Structure 1
Amino acid sequence: MKTVLSLLLGLFIIWAMYRDTNMGELWTITRSANFWVIAFSLIFGLIGNVLRGLRWELFVHSLGYHPPRASVIYATLGNYAVNFVLPRAGDLWRCGVVSRYDHIPFSKTLETFLIDKMVDIISGLTVILLSVLLYIDFFVSYFRNNPQFAENVHGLFSSVWTYLVLAAMLLAVIVISTFFRRSWLMIKIRRFVNTLRYDLKLISDIKEKKRIIIYTILLWLCFYLYFYICFYAFDFTSDLGPLAGLIVFAMTNIGISVPVQGGIGPWHFMVISSLMILGVAENEALAFAGAVFTIQSVWQI
């Protein structure tokens, strides 16, 4: 049910943005694109995903396991296809494939994946922070034109339900740790935490830190080019420049963080609203988002 609801949410966002659009005009704008440029951008998407697989391989090696490189890269590439069916399920599938076929405990692949994911979260936040520092006026305009974001944040922190839920979660932790500390489940959790702490120490002592940093920088550069090169496929975005590309790219990272299949809906909203603030006409922004998302999604699947 949760999966269906998340998909419906994404489709509703798409419908809300495109419902009043003249589809004939939208198709005319889309056909004017240079699809060879978009096709060229796909190369960087593939390279970025391969680099992500190579980086994950280093984390797996740090625990003493050495699966075939092709297996790790295949699992990383397949991750995105599965996410289009079930949000975030591709992450577990990726760990499960390597665990099953390369005879590595699932808990170990999951641990290394979580570390790999944490590196990407930090990198994504760094990209967002960098874009804010370089172009603060854009974000002021963005929140001024989309006041619902500030209203939602204010509503979250001012709602009594937020604090009731936090208090209930804290109470549940206290009760479980006090009265069920000797239960089978708690013993299992403590063992997992102890193992995780030991494995984290092994990972922190990894000798390949420089390669991890290099892979991370290169893969994020590739993903940036994967998106930004598409600006040159349309006349109305070709003159926006690399900084504008960085800003919209940063906003797409916020969009894909929403647990919806493939980021469908939130990704479109972030791209369209960002391009419009940068001076792109609404129909042109709609055409850009629709064409780029569709082609890149088919490529990833």
Structure 2
Amino acid sequence: MRKGLQSFLKYTLSLAIAALLFWYLYKDVDFNEMMASFRKANLNWIYLSIALAMFSHLLRAWRWNMLLEPLGYNLKTSRTFLAVMVGYLANFVVPRMGEVSRCGVLKNTDDVSVSRGFGSVVTERIFDMICLLAIIAFTLAIEFRRLNDFFLNLFLDKATGLEESFLALTLIGITFLVGAIVIFILLKRNQVFLRKNKYYNKLAAFLRQLVEGITSVKKLKTPALFWIATLGIWICYYFMTYVVFFSMEPTANLSLSAGFILLVLGGIGMATPVQGGIGAFHYLISAGLLLYGVAEKDGIIFAFVLHTTNSIAIIGVGSVSLFISMIIPKRNSHLAHANS
């Protein structure tokens, strides 16, 4: 009961934060004016953005197959695509729930071990983080002044109490490290007794499979294709934002470098623990456009158009994918894996 209450409060809090940010941004925007701007937009560029987004999700499914293949799973990209889209759909319900949800879908459709699947997803996220950091470094190199001004304005008023926050985080980190060491020592000393406990054995097996999934990248059969897929995903992410510039007059003349800044800020916004990045994405994108002289109101409308159109596509395709994943015949995809 307590765990359920904690989950409910966490979900409600993240939803409240998203709603508050969204309200704060759009409280002074006239809805009719915003819809008029949307009607004036060149929808062909928006359709292209959605197509690029869907292609990036297909590439992600293909790349995920490459990580699962060394674990002995023979999967079709079409089926992993269903799982990926259900995962994105789940993020609109509970933040960061998508990673677990798509593993659950593959378990139901192809009998893929949840622990191994989740381990491979962790590996995916590590590589995505490396790519995002590389893009941030590149963007800093070409647009240092603009990004420097942006983050200074964003965090300057929060500098007070930074030392106290750092001290608190350090203490938490030390406490966590000491606790982990104590638990490790206790487990080592009581291994004989614990091995007789079925729950301990189940947990140990889950953790072994999780690590196996994380380290699957070392056993890739075609590393070059993995990197091609990874590069393709981020190229699609870039252009799905950049092409929308041409759909609206206030952003039509923005440079390629502006696309990189919005890719970085949009990536940060989507990574925030709120449903679908709602509010955080809109705020960061509109603030980033201010750096290029786009009026705040036009930037807010641009963020709304970009996020809403792609969200509708994800919800639509994700819902269809969920339905299909529930009715397709279940496959035994791990015929080559002796321990599954």
TM-score by length of 2: 0.81
Does the Cα contact within 8 Å between 2:116 and 2:209 map onto a contact in 1? no
Listed as ranges, the gaps of 5+ residues in structure 2 are 1-8, 316-340
Does the Cα contact within 8 Å between 2:115 and 2:213 map onto a contact in 1? no
Partner amino acid, structure 2, of 1:166: G
Does the Cα contact within 8 Å between 2:56 and 2:236 map onto a contact in 1? yes
- Structure 1 residue 186: deviation in Å? 6.2
Listed as ranges, the gaps of 5+ residues in structure 1 are none
Sort the Cα spacing of 1:66 and 1:298 in 2 relative to 1 into closer, same or farther, 3 A: same
Which moved further from structure 2: 177-186 or 51-60?
177-186
- Structure 1 residue 146: deviation in Å? 1.9
Out of 203, 209, 217, the position equivalent to 1:203 is: 217
Partner amino acid, structure 2, of 1:40: L
Matches within 5 A, 1:142-181: 142-148=150-156, 151=159, 155=162, 158-181=165-188
Name the counterpart of 1:80. 88
Name the counterpart of 2:113. 105
Q: Could you report, residue by residue, the CA deviation over 1:216-266 in whole angstroms, capped at 9, with x for unpaired residues?
A: 111111111111110000111010121111111111011111111100011
- Structure 1 residue 173: deviation in Å? 1.5
Equivalents in 2 of 1:84, 1:256: separation in Å?
A: 11
Name the counterpart of 1:220. 234
Out of 243, 262, 275, the position equivalent to 1:229 is: 243
Equivalents in 1 of 2:157, 2:47: separation in Å?
A: 34
Provide the secondary structure at the position in 2 that maps to 1:176: helix
Q: Could you report, residue by residue, the CA deviation over 1:14-46 in whole angstroms, capped at 9, with x for unpaired residues?
A: 111122233343333333211222112211111
Equivalents in 2 of 1:63, 1:150: separation in Å?
A: 46
Equivalents in 2 of 1:82, 1:193: separation in Å?
A: 24
- Structure 1 residue 79: deviation in Å? 1.4
Out of 268, 289, 307, the position equivalent to 1:254 is: 268
Whether 2:287 is the aligned partner of 1:279: answer no
Sort the Cα spacing of 1:194 and 1:271 in 2 relative to 1 into closer, same or farther, 3 A: same
Equivalents in 2 of 1:277, 1:226: separation in Å?
A: 20
Does the Cα contact within 8 Å between 2:115 and 2:207 map onto a contact in 1? no
Which moved further from structure 2: 210-219 or 155-164?
155-164
- Structure 1 residue 115: deviation in Å? 1.2
Partner amino acid, structure 1, of 2:12: V
Out of 275, 278, 294, the position equivalent to 2:308 is: 294
Out of 278, 303, 321, the position equivalent to 1:264 is: 278
Equivalents in 1 of 2:296, 2:114: separation in Å?
A: 47
Q: Could you report, residue by residue, the CA deviation over 1:48-88 in whole angstroms, capped at 9, with x for unpaired residues?
A: 10001000001111111112332111111221111101111
Equivalents in 2 of 1:171, 1:66: separation in Å?
A: 42
Matches within 5 A, 1:18-167: 18-148=26-156, 151=159, 155=162, 158-167=165-174
Provide the secondary structure at the position in 1 that maps to 2:228: helix
Partner amino acid, structure 1, of 2:162: G
Does the Cα contact within 8 Å between 2:65 and 2:77 map onto a contact in 1? yes
Count of matched residue pairs:
300
TM-score by length of 1: 0.91
Provide the secondary structure at the position in 1 that maps to 2:159: helix
